[in-house]
Every structure is written in C-alpha cells, then in structure tokens.
C-alpha cells in the first residue's frame, strides 16, 4: 500500500510502500520516484512489487515506527458527496475545494465544543481524465484510505479543513469489501462499527460524475461519508481515537478547549 512519510531525522515528504505485515516502509523516493503524485498513476504496478520492494536486500527500508507517516496524499484537492445518490447511481451534488494540506496519522487536533466526528472513505485519483464512461472511472482510482473529520454545526468545507485527518495508507479499491465496516474506538466508550455497504460503487459514480465537470488530476481525493460519531470529549483533556478499516489503523488525538 502506498504511504507518504518523513524519514528518520526529518526532511521532505517521501513516498513509500508499506509491507504486507505493516511493519516496514520501502522508500520509493530513493529509487527515483519523485513523490506520491508520480506514484499514483503506477499504483497498481507498484502494488504488485510490494513484497519484492519491502524484502529485497539493499532496498532502502525503514521500520514503520522509525518514520513519521503523513496523509497518503498530503496536499490535495477535495471533492465531497453532498447529497444521497439517486437510483441512477449519479451523485446529485458535489463540492469542490482548492488544494490544501491534510493531517496524517497521530495528528493532534483541537475541536469545537459542539463538533461531531465524521468517518468515511476517501478515494484517490491515480490517472487524470475527462468525461469518463461506465467502468472506466474505477480504473482511475489509485486506492482508498480512511478519513476522520471534526465538523461543527453548519460547518462549511473551508471551516472544517483544519480538523481533517487521513491515512495511514492507500489500499487498492478492488481489495475493499463492499460489505465491510469501519471500527471506531474511543477510551471509555463502546466501540462503534460503521458499515460500508456500496462504497466502492458510490466512489466510482462520484468520480465519473465529477469528470463531466472538470478534468481529473492525480491526487484528487473523493470523500464519501460512512457515518457520524458523537464522540464525548472532556474539555482540556486529550483523547486518542482509533479507526480501523480497509487501509489499516488511523489514530489521532483530539481535545476540546477549556
């Protein structure tokens, strides 16, 4: 699975492949892959090389605990579904946002007193295009990842962007179970399970619909809400929230001001 990360000791963002067991990151930047935007169009090919690149002697590989994982696509244009998908499978309304920085695993977020937690799946465009037809849209999605976003009452896209976290990796769209689920764990609360029924086809429909309005670019992210969690947070205290789903485990720390 594709990841973006910072090497031990810091520096610029790099792109890598997460090993099948999730314990190692192979540095693709070290073998000439400039960044995640260069890797996205080749995501399927790189996925087939995953085991080779993470186990071959001489490859630049780091234990995952020694690197800082970023959002898989750290800077991207976001597209959101704003309305239920009707019977014909086409989203009625989409919202487009200018490119922005996105927080990654382990982020510390300060949220509002009335904010609720939206959980969902983001699909990343790998190959750009326009006016996609039928099943072509699915082939333009490089992978999917988890997202969590804190939203206040009546929050706009711009108002909530600093409270959006994604990760840890981009999993292949085809590997996502249409009837799968996301598990949300909050200390002191019962775990919440959110089902993902039909999300693969919904993301594909959103990409197809968006391609009729503008030209898709590698790295564009399509956000699909799976559910809302009313997470009780104690003012002034930090709470770690763990989300588990198709792309692994995404943890972040949230706190409300006193």
For residues 89 and 129, state if they share a domain: yes
For residues 120 and 218, state if they share a domain: yes
Provide the domain count of the chain: 2
For residues 6 and 112, state if they share a domain: no
For residues 191 and 212, state if they share a domain: yes
Of 48, 69, 90, the last residue of a domain is 69
CATH code: domain of residue 207: 3.90.850.10
Task: Report the distance separating Cα 6 and Cα 110, nearest Å.
Answer: 23
Of 15, 44, 69, the last residue of a domain is 69
Task: Report the distance separating Cα 43 and Cα 218, nearest Å.
Answer: 11
- When pLDDT is averaged across residues 49-69 and rounded to a whole number, the result is 83
For residues 132 and 238, state if they share a domain: yes
Beta bridge partners of 147: 120, 166
- When pLDDT is averaged across residues 83-95 and rounded to a whole number, the result is 59
Q: Are 207 and 230 in contact (CB under 8 A)?
A: no
Beta bridge partners of 79: 96, 222
- When pLDDT is averaged across residues 81-109 and rounded to a whole number, the result is 74
Q: Are 15 and 41 in contact (CB under 8 A)?
A: no
Which residue in the block uniquely carries the two structure tokens 């190959």? 127
Model confidence at 35: pLDDT above 80: yes
Model confidence at 143: pLDDT above 90: yes
Furthest C-alpha separation in the chain: 53
Strands 192-195 and 164-171: unpaired
For residues 31 and 80, state if they share a domain: no
For residues 122 and 214, state if they share a domain: yes
Supply the pLDDT for residue 89: 54
Domain that holds residue 124: 75-255
Of 69, 101, 120, the last residue of a domain is 69
Task: Report the distance separating Cα 82 and Cα 224, nearest Å.
Answer: 9
For residues 41 and 89, state if they share a domain: no
Supply the pLDDT for residue 154: 63
For residues 32 and 84, state if they share a domain: no
If we measure between CA atoms, which residue out of 46, 61, 38, 65 comes closest to residue 2?
A: 46
For residues 119 and 53, state if they share a domain: no
Share of the chain above pLDDT 70, in %: 90
For residues 99 and 137, state if they share a domain: yes
Supply the pLDDT for residue 141: 93
For residues 199 and 93, state if they share a domain: yes
- Establish how many alpha carbons lie within 13 A of residue 35's alpha carbon, considering only the half-sphere containing its beta carbon: 11
Q: Which residues of 82-113 are buried (b: 16+ CB within 10 A; e: fewer)?
A: eeebeeeeebeebeebeeeebbbbbbebebbe
- pTM of the shown model: 0.89
160-204 pLDDT tens trace: 556 899 999 999 988 888 778 999 999 888 899 998 888 888 889
- When pLDDT is averaged across residues 120-125 and rounded to a whole number, the result is 94
């Amino acid at each position: 699975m594709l990841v973006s990360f910072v090497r031990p000791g810091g520096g610029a963002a790099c792109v890598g492949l997460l090993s099948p067991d999730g314990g190692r990151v192979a540095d693709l930047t070290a073998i000439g892959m400039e960044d995640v935007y260069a890797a996205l169009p080749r995501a399927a090919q790189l996925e087939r090389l995953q085991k080779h690149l993470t186990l071959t002697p001489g490859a630049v590989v780091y234990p995952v605990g020694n690197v800082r994982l970023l959002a898989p696509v750290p800077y991207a244009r976001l597209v959101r579904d704003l309305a239920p998908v009707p019977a014909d499978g086409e989203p009625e309304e989409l919202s487009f946002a200018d490119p922005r920085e996105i927080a990654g695993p382990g982020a510390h977020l300060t949220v509002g007193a009335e904010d609720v937690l939206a959980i969902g799946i983001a699909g990343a465009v790998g190959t750009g295009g326009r006016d996609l037809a039928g099943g072509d849209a699915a082939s333009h999605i490089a992978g999917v990842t988890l997202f969590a976003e804190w939203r206040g009452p009546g929050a706009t896209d711009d108002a909530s962007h600093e409270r959006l976290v994604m990760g840890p990796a981009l999993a292949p769209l085809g590997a996502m179970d249409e009837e799968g689920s996301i598990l949300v764990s909050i200390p002191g609360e019962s775990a919440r399970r959110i089902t993902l029924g039909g999300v693969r086809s919904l993301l594909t429909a959103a990409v197809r619909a968006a391609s009729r309005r503008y030209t898709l670019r590698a790295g564009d992210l399509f956000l699909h809400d799976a559910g809302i969690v009313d997470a009780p947070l104690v003012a002034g205290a930090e709470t770690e929230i763990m989300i588990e789903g198709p792309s692994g485990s995404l943890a972040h720390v949230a706190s409300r001001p006193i």
